[in-house]
């Protein structure tokens, strides 16, 4: 066998192996996705959205309590997390630039983005749950906000840096003060990018379960009082799936399906915004 | 007037940005303070003691540490070759008509919450492991496999991104010299993107070790060190997820806080190595 033949054969083997591993990887992922869709659609019904939690064995159980709880936990986390993240990102991109302080904040945020979220839960337990003596919706929202913050901060920073500096200079030349330049020129130029960052940040946090286990805890009934334990889709999913009751497990799959569709929609929307921006 | 607003705006944003740093410092401090009781009670033996018995007020973290290390190691062994395969497939083999949909769906799968991987593991994968290896199916091995599938999309996506940083002109030159695809991958892409590829693996490792929900369903939370991978086990995050809401004594809590601190320090270190040593941050637009 000549050297060339050997190279061609090696090439074929490696190409075969990597195509195979792509197939294996993708089929596993398709497996999970199809199970999610099949079980999810099977378990979906109108009563899921209109009925709250029920004891096992009761056919009329729904997820209304978890959906509303999830939305409230999120609304409050985003209400604080999104503006704070955008403002901090604005500092990095517009004032901090390449200073040592700004670079340190970038590095630490990058690390925090991959840090284990359950640890954030432990931290919030220590500063909110333990002093107040009970699990609460607020504690859950604070944990989610802490996880959301570095993601939004970093994407805002990156997206604002994409705005050409000539735009800023033109506005300065017209005599605009810096805050006006930022709000009216930089923010406007980076709108699609920042929005994408916010969508992806919210999507990332939407699937968080671990930090909610011992902050917002759970409640099998509808509760809208943020100072009380509160249900979320993710924790409900965990409790229902690990329960021995078949009807609860079914509701768990419905919750998994609803949550995944929500997260995938946010991700796809985020991508479309970016594509639209590039298309211009 | 606008000079004042300008100052307020500048200082407010700076204040919030510094707040992020202080928050991280606060997290470390709070976890450390709450660990003190356990650190004083057990000292260094916390890390080497194998007995975790809340009813006897004895807490040793070695089974959890062992479980974290072994499950993550298993996950990496399984996921790394698959991720390299997928990345080579996406960057060199796939036709551009397949490349985009497959690439995008892998990225979307990386966004699916880990609790769903855990649920899939519990209902569909545990029975398979039970049939093949016997036992109850809830085991270290199951946890390692579910974890590997959970990190695969993330790992494949970042590895592909690292491979794609290789300039086309280098690849084209190699092809022009008669190189096969494998020659190009092995002699051009891998040497060029080496740091990025290793960095992505370490980053995935950092994520896997702190992953809670994908493994909590299938690991069993049993504080025992066993060389038999088909036995139930525990890891640091699994212990935290299962026991935090139920702890009933100061020392129990403090031990759990020490576990959290340990986990944070380990993942902080791993992620820092990946970020600073291998993946120097690339600025968009520069």
Q: Which residues pair with B220 in a beta bridge?
A: B233
Q: How crowded is the C-beta side of A147, counted as CA atoms within 13 Å?
A: 33
Q: Say which residue the tokens 């009670």 belong to.
A: B41
CB contact under 8 A, B275 and A268: no
Task: With cut-offs at 50, 70 and 90, classify the pLDDT of residue B285.
Answer: very low
Q: Which residues pair with B52 in a beta bridge?
A: B59
Q: What is the pLDDT of residue B13?
A: 94
> How far does the CA of residue A51 sit from the closest CA of chain B (Å)?
23
Give the span between the Cα atoms of B70 and B116, in whole angstroms. Answer: 22
The domain locations on chain A are 3-43, 50-279
Q: Which of A22, A108, A264 sits opposite B86 (nearest CB)?
A: A22
Q: Say which residue the tokens 């409050």 belong to.
A: A76
Q: What is the pLDDT of residue B75?
A: 96
- Encoding tokens for residue B85? 């395969």
- Encoding tokens for residue A228? 């009380």
Q: Which residues of A touch B105 (CB under 8 A)?
A: 26, 29
CB contact under 8 A, B119 and A237: yes
Interface probe, candidates A4, A83, A96, A116, chain B, greatest B C-beta count within 10 A: A116
Q: What is the pLDDT of residue A279?
A: 61
Q: Length of chain B, please?
A: 286
| pLDDT beyond 90 at A125 | yes
Say what the alpha-carbon torsion angle B170, B176, B182, B185 is, to the nearest 10 degrees: 0
3 state DSSP class of A153: helix
pLDDT tens digits for range B36-48: 999 999 999 999 9
Give the span between the Cα atoms of A36 and A28, in whole angstroms. Answer: 12
What element of type H or E holds A106? helix A100-114
Task: With cut-offs at 50, 70 and 90, classify the pLDDT of residue A172.
Answer: very high
Structural domains counted in chain B: 1
DSSP classification of residue A203: H
Q: Which residues of A touch B108 (CB under 8 A)?
A: 264, 267-268
Q: What is the pLDDT of residue A166?
A: 92
Give the span between the Cα atoms of A264 and A270, in whole angstroms. Answer: 10
CB contact under 8 A, B108 and A260: no
CB contact under 8 A, B82 and A25: yes
Q: What is the pLDDT of residue A280?
A: 53
In chain B, the residue whose alpha carbon lies closest to the alpha carbon of A33 is B109
Q: Which of B88, B216, B271 sits opposite A114 (nearest CB)?
A: B271
CB contact under 8 A, A182 and B9: yes
Q: Which residues of B touch A242 (CB under 8 A)?
A: 122, 217
Q: What is the pLDDT of residue A278?
A: 67
Q: Which of B3, B117, B244 sits opposite A177 (nearest CB)?
A: B3
pLDDT tens digits for range A83-121: 999 999 999 999 988 899 999 999 999 999 988 999 999
Q: Which residues of A touch B19 (CB under 8 A)?
A: 84, 88
In chain A, the residue whose alpha carbon lies closest to the alpha carbon of B207 is A114
Cα-Cα end-to-end distance for chain B: 35
Give the span between the Cα atoms of A194 and A192, in whole angstroms. Answer: 6
CB contact set of B27 (below 8 Å; sequence gap of 6+): A119, A120, A123, B264
Give the span between the Cα atoms of B73 and B68, in whole angstroms. Answer: 8
Taking residues A200-227, what's their average pLDDT? Answer: 89
Q: What's chain B look like in SS3?
A: CHHHHHHHHHHHHHHHHHHHHHHHHHHHHHHHHHHHHHHHHHCCHHHHCCCEEHHHCEECCHHHHHHHHHHHHHHHHHHHHHHHHHHHHHHHHCCHHHHHHHHHHHHHHHHCCHHHHHHHHHHHHHHHHHHHHCCCCCCHHHHHHHHHHHHHHHHHHHHHHHHHCCCHHHHHHHHHCCCCHHHHHHHHHHHHHHHHHHHHHHHHHHHHHHCCHHHHHHHECCCCCCCCCCCCECCHHHHHHHHHHHCCCHHHHHHHHHHHHHHHHHHHHHHHHHHHHHCCCCCCCC
CA neighbor of A197 nearest in space, from A160, A241, A249, A235: A160
Taking residues B188-205, what's their average pLDDT? Answer: 92
Q: What is the pLDDT of residue A77?
A: 94
Q: Which residues form the domain of B129?
A: 48-278
Among residues of chain A, what percentage have pLDDT more than 70?
99
Average pLDDT, chain B: 91
Q: Which residues of B touch A203 (CB under 8 A)?
A: 111
| pLDDT beyond 50 at A143 | yes
Q: Determine phi and psi for A182, rounding to 5 degrees.
A: -65, -50
Q: Which residues of A touch B103 (CB under 8 A)?
A: none
Residue B9 belongs to some domain of the structure:
no
Class of domain A50-279: mainly alpha
CB contact under 8 A, A15 and B182: yes
CB of A209 closer than 8 Å to CB of A237: yes
Give the span between the Cα atoms of B12 and A95, in whole angstroms. Answer: 11
Residue B24 belongs to some domain of the structure:
no
Q: Which residues of B touch A275 (CB under 8 A)?
A: none
CB contact under 8 A, A256 and B116: yes
CB of B190 closer than 8 Å to CB of B201: no
Task: With cut-offs at 50, 70 and 90, classify the pLDDT of residue B109.
Answer: confident
> How far does the CA of residue B49 sit from the closest CA of chain A (Å)?
22
pLDDT tens digits for range A228-276: 999 999 999 999 999 999 889 999 999 999 999 999 999 998 888 877 7
Task: Give the CATH number for residue B165.
Answer: 1.10.3720.10
Q: What is the pLDDT of residue B55?
A: 87
CB contact under 8 A, A118 and B14: no
pLDDT tens digits for range B132-191: 988 888 999 999 999 999 999 999 999 999 999 999 999 999 999 988 999 999 999 999
Q: Determine phi and psi for A229, rounding to 5 degrees.
A: -55, 145
Q: Which of A19, A115, A237 sits opposite B267 (nearest CB)?
A: A115
- Encoding tokens for residue A51? 């009925």
Q: How many A-B residue pairs are in contact by the CB < 8 A criterion? A: 272
In chain B, the residue whose alpha carbon lies closest to the alpha carbon of A239 is B217
Q: What is the pLDDT of residue B284?
A: 39
Residue B39 belongs to some domain of the structure:
no
Q: What is the pLDDT of residue B286?
A: 33
CB of A125 closer than 8 Å to CB of B240: no
pLDDT tens digits for range A36-86: 999 999 888 888 888 888 888 777 888 999 999 999 999 999 999 999 999
Q: Which of A25, A150, A213 sits opposite B244 (nearest CB)?
A: A213
If phi over 0 gives left and psi between -120 and 50 gives alpha, with beta otherwise, what is residue B94? beta
In chain A, the residue whose alpha carbon lies closest to the alpha carbon of B86 is A22
pLDDT tens digits for range B1-34: 788 999 999 999 999 999 999 999 999 999 999 9
């Amino acid at each position: 066998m000549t050297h060339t033949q050997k190279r061609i054969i090696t090439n074929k083997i490696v190409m075969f192996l990597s195509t195979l591993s792509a197939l294996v990887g993708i089929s596993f992922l398709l497996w999970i996705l199809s199970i999610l869709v099949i079980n999810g659609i099977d378990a979906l019904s109108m009563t899921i959205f209109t009925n709250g939690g029920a004891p096992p064995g009761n056919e009329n159980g729904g997820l209304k309590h978890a959906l509303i709880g999830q939305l409230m936990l999120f609304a409050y986390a985003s209400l604080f997390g999104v503006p704070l993240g955008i403002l901090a990102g604005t500092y990095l991109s517009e004032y901090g630039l390449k200073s040592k302080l700004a670079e340190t904040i970038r590095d630490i945020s990058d690390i925090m983005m991959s840090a284990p979220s359950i640890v954030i839960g432990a931290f919030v337990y220590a500063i909110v749950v333990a002093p107040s003596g009970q699990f609460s919706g607020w504690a859950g929202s604070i944990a989610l906000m802490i996880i959301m913050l570095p993601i939004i901060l970093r994407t805002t920073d990156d997206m604002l840096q994409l705005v050409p500096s000539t735009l800023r200079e033109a506005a300065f030349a017209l005599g605009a003060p810096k805050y006006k330049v930022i709000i009216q020129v930089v923010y406007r130029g980076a709108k699609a990018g920042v929005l994408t960052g916010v969508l992806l940040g919210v999507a990332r946090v939407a699937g968080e379960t671990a930090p909610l286990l011992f902050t917002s805890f759970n409640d099998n009934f509808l509760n809208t009082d943020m100072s009380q334990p509160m249900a979320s889709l993710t924790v409900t999913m965990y409790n229902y799936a690990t329960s021995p009751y078949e009807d609860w497990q079914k509701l768990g799959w419905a919750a998994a399906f609803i949550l995944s569709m929500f997260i995938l929609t946010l991700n796809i929307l985020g991508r479309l915004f970016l594509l639209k921006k590039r298309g211009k | 007037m606008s000079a004042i607003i300008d100052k307020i705006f500048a200082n407010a944003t700076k204040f919030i940005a510094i707040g992020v740093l202080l928050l991280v410092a606060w997290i470390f401090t709070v976890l450390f303070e709450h660990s003190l009781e356990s650190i004083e009670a057990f000292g260094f033996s916390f890390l080497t003691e194998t007995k975790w018995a809340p009813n006897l007020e004895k807490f040793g973290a070695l089974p959890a540490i062992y479980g974290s290390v072994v499950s993550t190691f298993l996950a990496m062994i399984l996921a790394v070759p698959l991720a390299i395969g997928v990345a080579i497939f996406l960057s060199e083999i796939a036709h551009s008509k397949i490349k985009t949909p497959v690439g995008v769906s892998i990225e979307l799968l990386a966004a699916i919450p880990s609790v769903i991987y855990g649920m899939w593991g519990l209902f569909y994968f545990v029975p398979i492991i039970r049939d093949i290896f016997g036992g109850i199916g809830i085991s270290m091995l199951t946890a390692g496999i579910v974890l590997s599938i959970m990190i695969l999309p993330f790992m494949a996506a970042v590895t592909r991104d690292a491979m794609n940083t290789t300039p086309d002109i280098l690849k084209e030159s190699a092809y022009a010299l008669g190189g096969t695809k494998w020659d190009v991958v092995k002699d051009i892409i891998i040497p060029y993107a080496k740091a990025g590829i290793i960095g992505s693996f370490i980053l995935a490792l950092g994520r896997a070790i702190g992953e809670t929900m994908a493994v909590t369903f299938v690991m069993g939370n049993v504080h025992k060190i066993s060389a038999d991978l088909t036995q139930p086990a525990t890891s640091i995050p699994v212990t935290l997820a299962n026991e935090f809401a139920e702890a009933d004594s100061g020392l129990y809590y403090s031990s759990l806080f020490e576990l959290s601190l340990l986990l944070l320090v380990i993942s902080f270190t791993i992620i820092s190595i990946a970020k600073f040593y291998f993946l120097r941050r690339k600025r968009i637009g520069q």
